[in-house]
Amino acid sequence: MKYFHNEIEAKWQQYWAENQTFAAKNDSDKPKYYVLDMFPYPSGAGLHVGHPLGYIASDIVARYKRHQGFNVLHPQGYDSFGLPAEQYAIQTGQHPEKTTKENIARYRQQLDKIGFSFDWSREVRTSNPDYYRHTQWIFIQLFNSYYCKDTDQARPIEELIEVFQQEGNTRIHAVCDENISTFNGEEWNAFSSEEQQKILLQYRLTYLAETEVNWCPALGTVLANDEIINGVSERGGHPVIRKKMTQWSMRISAYAERLLQGLETIDWTESLKESQRNWIGKSVGASVTFNLKNHEEVIEVFTTRPDTIFGVTFMTLAPEHELVAKITTPEQKANVEAYIEATAKRSERERMADVKTISGVFTGAYAEHPFTKEPIPVWIGDYVLAGYGTGAVMAVPCGDERDYAFAKHFDLPIKNIVEGVDISEAAYDDKNNTILANSEFLNGLNYKEATKKIIEELEKIGAGMAKVNYRLRDAVFSRQRYWGEPFPVYYVNGMPQMIPAAHLPVVLPEVEKYLPTEDGQPPLGNASVWAWDTKTNQVVSNDLMDNVNVFPLELNTMPGWAGSSWYWMRYMDAHNTNEFASQDALKYWENVDLYIGGSEHATGHLLYSRFWNKFLKDRGFAPTEEPFKKLINQGMILGMSAFVYRSEDSKTLYSKGLIKDKNVHPIHVDLAVINDVTNELDIEAFKNHPLYSDYKNAEFILEDGKYIVGREVEKMSKSKYNVVNPDDICEQYGADTLRLYEMFLGPLEQAKPWNTAGITGVSGFLKKLWRLYFDDIGLIVTNDEPTGEMYKSLHKTIKKVTEDIENFSFNTSVSQFMICVNELAQAKCHHRAILEPLAILVSPYAPHIAEELWSALGHEGSIATVKFPIFEAKYLVESEKEYPVSFNGKMRFTIKLPLDLNAAQIEEIVMADERTQAQLQGRTPNKVIIVPGKIINLVG
């Protein structure tokens, strides 16, 4: 019988679907194991061979854990809201829901072909109303919560209101906006409802505020920092500017310390943890207040080096700082405004990364030093960011390189406050070896002593205090898009009101076009039925807005990360219509045991999801503090691009080996027109390809009658024409071959190039495996007792594969399978006692062939939950030793002897061997050296 992978794979994929083989239960007595892949976005391009890498790894673990007796939850779904679908809708006029459904159908078809053991009964899609009703509900909970510093957790806003009613806010310790006015209980009760709502917005965990955002005019929307690369939008490469807008924000900063501390409790790579630590950016220092001359306002700065306060010679504000417009003198107004306009075109990341460019403008205003009372010039500079700290720095050029460069560039004073240090060429920033000078009462003190002293003095004069600061800023939560979760919000006199939870979801309305309105409103401004009737609790026509009970709905939608910040919980109880998941389901599954995905989500999705999980835990809706116990970032599978080389005038194309010393330009070539093994270009196919019609009449300069293309490893991308479709691999070689080959390419975490030429070896391995069970006629498995060597081959493999899966070292398992099958083939092993456990061993990696082999061996049902083979060390204990037999130090032959023989017994056997007699030719050796288990040497 031949191995027909297409028939076998189709058969078992149908079996799994019909029998719900991988459906997990919420009430099992088995121990649970939850393995999850990062939420895929279903793009129109479909999957290329790089996408399944992490899925294959997680599937191997999921299948292995089932074999070990675990109740495994291994779900899949789609992060189906987002900008790409909306942009496509704008271009084609098709509703994003239609294209998203088509893309999902394509993804599902591709995923099924690869044979993943997903529990598809729990599939979720963030764009389905029955999913995003719960996202809207979580938003309402955030709105109705504040962060209590006393309990260090989120609490219901009603508790805060009760305190306000009784005693005001003078004793409240909560995370809130800065500069909140104090009031007592009597004053609170006298406030109007609107005034009370405005105050509460300053405490809520999601709130409306005017903030600096990344605005992309071409896309008509706000972008998160992680959606911007090198100052342009990741999607489309459009310019991004800084702009002030009223937006919904999430008070993630309240959780900064807990997000830091939680990293110590989870099994993530150190590099990933460090990325989050840097993004959170904890700094310990002091808040210092500088009065402004001729102004009532003050400048507040946060500094990690309050000990250097006597070295301040100027101050720098972020160009977006709210004080800039107030304090700029008429003489400086034009320069300042021009600088602000130029800065708005650069993203924050670009400004942070650019350490070479020195730019700034003097505002004309002066601050006052809190101790010396000396005037300090106030500048603006784009190296200061409005969102970090207070958006202002006290510049100490003698102790900070950036301040030093700024001072040198603009010829500002540099005051030396470090004893015995030359700062004529550079700043001195070694705080641990600093003794202060020219610093009045701090003279002679080191960094620690001076820091303690200066904070005491600042507190005495009311000019500062000790403070811990975080780089992590509150997350902007509004997007000016159509294809996203609608906010469950309507407005009464400009104040946000939550739609009652019983009337969720608020479903996206129909719109004629997906662009912003002519007056700049978000796309939902185009909807004609988008108002809320508080009497009927439903969405009604905008024409009814004149009615006293009808109010405008929020026009922004939620960002893409809204639905992906809690989706793992929905999988636990995907069909619950009353709540996002029952408490029983949440308590059973708790959190994700293994999470696999790309490193690009290190500071976006992973921070937001940890924040939401902690919030839901605080409010009693989630059982654990952290969502993901163990996380692995899979590396990227790179594409092997192909190039032809054109001359300057595009009339000649040179083969790769002929381009030396020629002025040529490489052009990416579609892999469809080359032989991927020989790298030979199909010239006729190239000429007839629509992309290369310009070269129909070009001259091709060949090597030995062939045009050989150049090859280079790059990121797999449609634009580079180096994408390999997994469907083609599954069709030609089989899904099991694809799965094994992707694992065989190298360690999971590392990037590695795809080379289709290498897949034939893996394909050959599966055929060789098949031949252990079948010959041309049929099954050849016997019930004979295997030899010791056969058991040894099997148990070496059990040991290796078990260790490899536990350590996520999947590539070396594939190597071991190949070694084992080769050894068994050489031993002519067709023994059931070996081949049954071997089929189970292979099953997590190559499930289709394993199922077929298991069935052929006479078993009913699926192999999926059969107990995994257990390694027995006794089969690896050596009972014999193959000794090299040497004569005068030169090895002449080998002899296999039992290991329990002593030296005398070994000598007797060796001397009687005819090969020894042939070597000695009647002589008697002068000396026989024998070390049992090691050497045999006859001398003389």
Closest to 851 (Cα-Cα) out of 269, 16, 89, 18: 16
**Model confidence pLDDT, tens digit, residues 129-167:** 999 999 999 999 999 999 999 999 999 999 999 999 999
Please check whether residue 266 is in contact with residue 614, taking contact to mean a CB–CB distance below 8 angstroms: no
pLDDT in tens, 899-910: 889 999 999 999
In which region does residue 721 sit, left (phi positive, over 0), alpha (psi from -120 to 50) or beta (all else)?
left
Q: pLDDT for 690-722, tens place per residue?
A: 999 899 999 999 999 999 999 999 999 888 999
Q: Which of 16-20, 86-90, 101-105, 182-186 shows the lowest mean pLDDT across its residues?
A: 86-90
280 is written with which tokens?
């959170």
For 314, the 3-state DSSP assignment is: strand
**Percent of residues, the chain, with pLDDT higher than 70:** 100
pLDDT digits (tens, 9 = 90+) for 206-226: 999 887 778 888 887 777 776
Residue 599 CB burial class (10 angstroms; 0-12, 13-18, ≥19): middle
Residues 308-315 have a mean pLDDT of 97
Rounded CA-CA distance 112/797 in Å is 29
Beta carbons of 441 and 453 less than 8 angstroms apart: yes
Residue 835, H or E segment: helix 832-842
Q: How far apart are CA 448 and CA 559, in angstroms?
A: 44
* Tens digits of residue pLDDT in 372-422: 999 999 999 999 988 777 899 999 999 999 999 999 999 999 999 999 999
Give the N- to C-terminal CA distance of the chain in Å, as an integer: 59
Helices (H), 436-524: 447-460
Q: Is 216 helix (H, G, I), strand (E, B) or coil?
A: strand
152 backbone φψ class: left, alpha, beta (φ>0; ψ -120 to 50) = left
Distance CA 561, CA 565 (A): 6
For residue 718, what pLDDT is reported? 85
pLDDT score of 226: 65
Q: Which two three-digit tokens encode residue 116?
A: 């993943």
Mean pLDDT of 680-690: 95
| Per-residue model confidence as pLDDT tens digits over 318-375 | 999 999 999 999 999 999 999 999 888 787 777 877 778 899 999 999 999 999 999 9
Helix, coil or strand: residue 653: strand
Any alpha helices (H) in 68-180, and if so which ranges? 83-92, 96-114, 129-143, 157-167
CA distance 591 to 760: 40
Contacts of 388 (CB under 8 A, 6+ apart): 281, 471, 473
The whole-angstrom separation of Cα 532 and Cα 205 is 24
- Give the span between the Cα atoms of 475 and 610, in whole angstroms: 13
Arithmetic mean of pLDDT over the chain: 94
Residues 824-849, mean pLDDT to the nearest whole number? 98
* Burial of 43 per CB tally in 10 Å (0-12, 13-18, 19+): middle
Residues 626, 434: Cα–Cα separation, whole Å? 41
Does residue 460 contact residue 172 with C-beta atoms inside 8 Å?
Answer: no
pLDDT beyond 80 at 602: yes
Query: What is the DSSP-derived secondary structure letter of residue 864?
Result: T
Cβ-based burial of 260 (10 A; exposed 0-12, middle 13-18, buried ≥19): middle
Cis peptide before 623 (omega within 30 of 0): no
Q: Which residue in 454, 453, 443, 350 sits closest to 394, CA to CA?
A: 454
What is the arithmetic mean of pLDDT over 39-57? 92
pLDDT in tens, 631-657: 999 999 999 999 999 999 999 999 999
Burial class (CB in 10 A: 0-12, 13-18, 19+), 10: middle
Helices (H) and strands (E) in the chain, counts: 28, 35
Q: How confident is the model at residue 579 (pLDDT cuts 50, 70, 90)?
A: very high
Neighbours of 332 (CB within 10 A): 18
How many angstroms separate the most distant Cα atoms in the chain? 122
Burial annotation 516-534 (CB, 10 A radius, 16+ → b, else e) = beeeeebbbbbbeebbbbb
Structure tokens at 30: 């088995």
Q: Mean of the pLDDT values across residues 548-568?
A: 96
For residues 862-869, give the mean pLDDT: 98
Instruction: Give the bridge partners for 209, in sequence order.
Output: 247
What is the mean pLDDT of the segment spanning 500-516?
Answer: 94
Q: Residue 505 has what DSSP assignment?
A: -
Confirm if 655 and 706 have CB atoms less than 8 A apart. Answer: yes
Q: What average pLDDT does range 252-267 have in this prediction? A: 97
Q: Is the pTM of this model over 0.85?
A: yes
Q: Which residues pair with 898 in a beta bridge?
A: 880
Of 633, 709, 697, the C-alpha closest to 666 is 709
Q: Please state, in angstroms and rounded to a whole number, the distance separating the CA atoms of residues 537 and 643.
A: 62
Buried b (16+ CB within 10 A) or exposed e, 881-896: bebebbbeeeeeeebe
The residues facing 782 across adjacent strands are 831
Partners of 642 in the β-ladder: 669, 711
